[in-house]
Amino acid sequence: MKNLFFAILLLASANLLNAQQTLSFGPVIGANFATISDVDGSEFNTGFMGGAQLTYSDVNNWGIGGAILYSREGVDVQVGNVEGATNLTYVRIPVKGYWFFRTNEDRFRPKLFVGPSIGILVDSDAKFNNVEVDIKDTYNTLDLGLTAGLGFNARISESGTWFNFDAGYTHGLLDVADNTDSKNRNLSVTAGILFGF
């Protein structure tokens, strides 16, 4: 009985060590090219995106990941002589299901991803013709969308360190403000280093 217990303990430890090698975590930075639907004269608002990302993959081709990101979004507007920008800053939490091409042993792994994206509004400001406009209570605190895209992971070291690149699109599902039909639309590009555990 004692030998059986130690055998089970040994197998469980081996599986745990293997799972730890499939977990990676690290910083990511990038840019958003954002707009809001159904806004006259809307143009892309370019903003910073950055934070931390976690990826888990225990099989060769499937994985799941999440991130916590500072995400500057909003919309630029140009209508006749009026030009301005609405800047919306979110803590954005995307959860991504990954399909990896090739295997864990390969140094370069293209990938596709899809999943939900939650945004929590933490700041908002607007300026039109260089006049600041108070919009503090105009926009909804919660945003929900779907994100999808492609990218690649490139192995930097045999210890499980990867260069990570993602290019994605987030399609907002909730109105950004009450009594409107306007939703977030974001193209984003991020890169980072993921360290394996």
One digit per residue, pLDDT tens: the chain, 197 residues? 445 444 544 444 444 334 335 899 999 999 999 999 998 888 999 999 999 999 998 778 999 999 999 999 999 998 888 889 999 999 999 999 999 998 888 899 999 999 999 999 999 999 988 888 878 789 999 999 999 999 999 999 988 899 999 999 999 999 999 988 999 999 999 999 999 88
Domain for residue 113, yes or no?
yes
In a domain, 122, yes or no: yes
50 located within any domain: yes
Give the chain's domain count. 1
Does residue 11 lie in a domain region? no
Q: Could you list the residue range(s) of the whole structural domain that residue 89 is in?
A: 24-196
115 belongs to a structural domain:
yes
Residue 131: CATH number of its domain: 2.40.160.20
How big is the chain, counted in residues?
Answer: 197
Position 134 in a domain: yes
C-alpha gyration radius of the chain: 21
What is the distance in angstroms between the CA of the first residue and the CA of the last residue of the chain?
33
Total H helices, total E strands in the chain? 1, 10
In a domain, 56, yes or no: yes
